[in-house]
Structure 1
Amino acid sequence: MHGRERRKRSTRRALRSAVLELGLERGWAEVRVEEVAERAGVSARTFFNYFETKEDAALLDLFVVPDDELAALEGPAPRLWHALTELFTADVERLGGDGADVPRFMELQRRNPGLQARQMGVFTLFEGRLSSAIAARLPDDRDGRLRAGLMSGACITAVRVGLQAWTAGGWQGPPGADVRDAFGLLAPAFAR
């Protein structure tokens, strides 16, 4: 990674960290973008180069899967479910590896139902993209469309429940292990 990209990632991390700290310290309603920027050592204008709103900075960077990766998914169903398991386990591991304080972001969202709802909205938008990608690998009939919708919804649920289990377990080990286990419990329904 080049110097400019490193600086951009560092600034983004600093802004997200400031949002998290201020949100947990003082309560979400009291957080102002100007304070976030000041704590991160940048201008408010710089904040808006990275995020449209303070809420955007408080969301987990989950399901950041480009269209080309979704297009590369392989079928039939058993291989497809395995590919989905690998894709989302890697996405969760990337999230944890990026230095994101996942448990504390989840706590901030738990304390603020509006943030939690916004996070679920992001998940729902991604679920539609995922369902289309899965449907492209299944028969183009009613059962194929139902299966695609169920599989995409199950993926979102497996990631969410796996992260909740990881958090409840005291954040032991990598978060991907709990996500992989959640996918494994669903495998009998989809890997056949």
Structure 2
Amino acid sequence: MSPQNTRRFRTAKAIQASAIELAIQDGLANVTTEAIARHAGISTRTFFNYYPYKEAALMGPPPDYPPEASEKFVTSKGRLIDDLGDLIAAHLKRYLNEREMIGQMLSLSDSDPKLDALRNSAMLARRAQMRALLHRRLPGSDERLVEILAAAIIAATNAATKDWVAGTRDDFIAAAHENLSLILVAAEMLGTPSS
């Protein structure tokens, strides 16, 4: 990441932290973009250079997969599950110091329909990114299989995130790796007769 992009990302994260802090403290309905900007130590104009409205600020910058790790995943010749674990670890390690903030954001989105819709939209965007990475890694693969796999990967990482912020799992990356391995177990279940 270039110095300018790093600075921009830090500012976006500072705005997000201010938005979440104010929403927890005063209630989301009582928070304004002006209050968020003031709390973050920026102008309202600068706020709008980063986010179009307060709910977007609460969600923070798009949680895209890291470009370098994504390229490594696409070009690797190792086992897909192992390379996927490396990609997800690189993605999640950027959030290890944000456990409380992510938990607060998830809690806020559970009680606000607009924020919940933004969270769902972010998950769909990540799924589309994963689908694109899988297509690049596995050219010519059945579209349906790629779509199903991308959805399972996102479900696995989302479940790990919820467990981690709830405190039921302390190691975020290990939880994600375990959930990714459950995709193989789930696939085997489809061929097993019910008892």
Tell me if TM exceeds 0.5: yes
Deviations along 1:48-100, whole A, 9 cap, x unmatched? Answer: 12222212211155641256643442489971222122211221221224687
Following superposition, the deviation at residue 32 of structure 1 comes to 0.5
Flag structure 2 segments of 5+ consecutive residues without an equivalent. Answer: 188-195
| Other-structure match for 1:15 | 15
Deviations along 1:119-175, whole A, 9 cap, x unmatched? Answer: 11122123123213212333625xx222211111111111111111112335x5332
Q: What pairs up with 1:73-92 in 2 under 5 angstroms? A: 73-74=73-74, 79-92=79-92
Q: CA 1:147–1:81 in structure 2 vs 1: closer, same or farther (change >3 Å)?
A: farther
- 1:96 matched to 2:96: yes
| Other-structure match for 1:182 | 179
The separation in 2 between residues aligned to 1:99 and 1:168, in whole angstroms, is 9
Flag structure 1 segments of 5+ consecutive residues without an equivalent. Answer: none
Q: What pairs up with 1:44-83 in 2 under 5 angstroms? A: 44-59=44-59, 61=61, 63-66=63-66, 69-74=69-74, 79-83=79-83
Deviations along 1:93-127, whole A, 9 cap, x unmatched? Answer: 21224687221122122222321221111221231
The separation in 2 between residues aligned to 1:51 and 1:159, in whole angstroms, is 25
| Other-structure match for 1:168 | 166
For 2:150, the aligned partner's letter is S
DSSP 3-state at the match of 1:58 = helix
> What percentage of aligned pairs have identical amino acids?
25
Deviates more, 1:31-40 or 1:46-55: 46-55
| Number of equivalences | 188
| Other-structure match for 2:132 | 132
